[in-house]
Amino acid sequence: MITRLRIIGKSGLDWLSVCGRSGVFIAHSLCGVPNVRKGLPLLLKQLYAVGVLSLPIIIVSGLFIGMVMSLQGYSILVDYGSEQAVGQMVSLSLVRELGPVVTALLFAGRAGSSLTAEIGLMKATEQITSLEMLGVDPLRYVMAPRLLAGFIALPLLTLIFNVVGIWGGALVAVDWLGVYDGSFWANMQAATDFRTDVVNGMVKSIAFAFVVTWIAVFQGHDLTPTSEGIGRATTKTVVYSSLAVLGLDFVLTAVMFGDF
């Protein structure tokens, strides 16, 4: 009994200390005056790695999700003779929910895991320590550009995902299933509000960007520099980010759209 209590207490303490370390980590990485001349090239390189290289998976997924939603929506709505509402259904579900959430999940799998593995391997090969010994703070040199790149890239990817998804939806509904394109687009425009739908969706996406990138970079920074350690940290990044995104999505949705 005592042993069990001790184990619970220890894991609680460990968890608290990880939270504390990650807080200190992000504060050290992001506080202070950035050096634009030296920092900008590093940031651009990371934006390319996490943003531009994630484009293919985001575009293809967005296209298919938009197409599938349109197809499913049509097959139900057509029974009630209201297939023109497909446009608003596709746009609302994408902009409010699917866009931010699916993009964040894909981003965690594609970019988050590679951030963790890359930093982990730099740690295992003593590159992080050698930066410290050369008098260069790795938090500012390695971690900060990656964190910022994630914060910037994910909301932009979400926008692209939404646009491609809506285009995919229109492709199926209008060009294939023959929904009248005037009512498809008009319904969509009438139902989608910039403030409640688009802005709220982007706020979600900014929150997810923060959480996913923080988890990914911190896991890389905090891992045990062995093969198993890197493997475990990469898995943790994907699992924790996905859970955090889904949990946070519920909370944010309740705050934004909940009526209480």
Contact (Cβ atoms closer than 8 angstroms) between residue 204 and residue 100: yes
Closest separation between CB of residue 134 and other proteins, Å? 5
Q: How far is the CB of 30 from other proteins (least distance, A)?
A: 15
Question: Judged by CB, which is closer to other proteins: 146, or 204?
Answer: 146
Q: Which stretch binds other proteins (CB under 8 A): 11-19, 73-81, 108-116, 121-129?
A: 121-129
H-helix or E-strand containing 141?
A: none
Does residue 118 contact residue 142 with C-beta atoms inside 8 Å?
A: no
Q: Which residue has the tokens 């199926």?
A: 172
In eight-state DSSP terms, residue 177 is S
Binder among 19, 23, 44, 126 for other proteins (CB under 8 A): 126
Looking only at residues 140 through 169 of this chain, which bind other proteins when binding is defined by CB under 8 A? none
Q: CA-CA distances (angstroms) from residue 203 to 5, 89, 93, 178? A: 41, 20, 15, 35
Taking CB under 8 A as the rule, does residue 6 contact other proteins? no
Tell me which of 11, 75, 82, 129 binds other proteins, using CB under 8 A: 129
Q: Is 81 helix (H, G, I), strand (E, B) or coil?
A: coil
In the complex with other proteins, which residue's Cβ is closer, 81 or 135? 135
* Shortest CB 24 distance to other proteins, Å: 11
Tokens encoding 247:
């949990």
Comparing CB distances to other proteins, the nearer of 126 and 175 is 126
137 binds other proteins (CB under 8 A): yes
The site map against other proteins for 33-52 (x = CB under 8 A) is -----x--------------
CB of 138 to other proteins, least distance (A): 11
| Segment interacting with other proteins, rule: CB under 8 A, options 79-87, 96-104, 132-140, 205-213 | 132-140
User: Is 254 exposed, middle or buried, given 0-12, 13-18 or 19+ CB atoms closer than 10 A?
Assistant: exposed
**Looking at 17, 75, 127, 227, which residue binds other proteins (CB under 8 A)?**
127
Give the nearest distance from C-beta 57 to other proteins in angstroms. 23
The DSSP output letter for 135 is T
| Part of the chain binding other proteins (CB under 8 A), chosen from 10-18, 126-134, 156-164, 195-203 | 126-134
The number of residues making up the chain comes to 260
**106, 113, 114, 247 from 152: Cα distances, Å:** 16, 17, 17, 22
Q: How many CB atoms lie within 10 A of CB 16?
A: 10
How far apart are the C-alpha atoms of 183 and 51, rounded to whole Å? 35
Please report, as ranges, the residues that interact with other proteins according to CB under 8 A.
Answer: 28, 38, 125-127, 129-130, 132-137
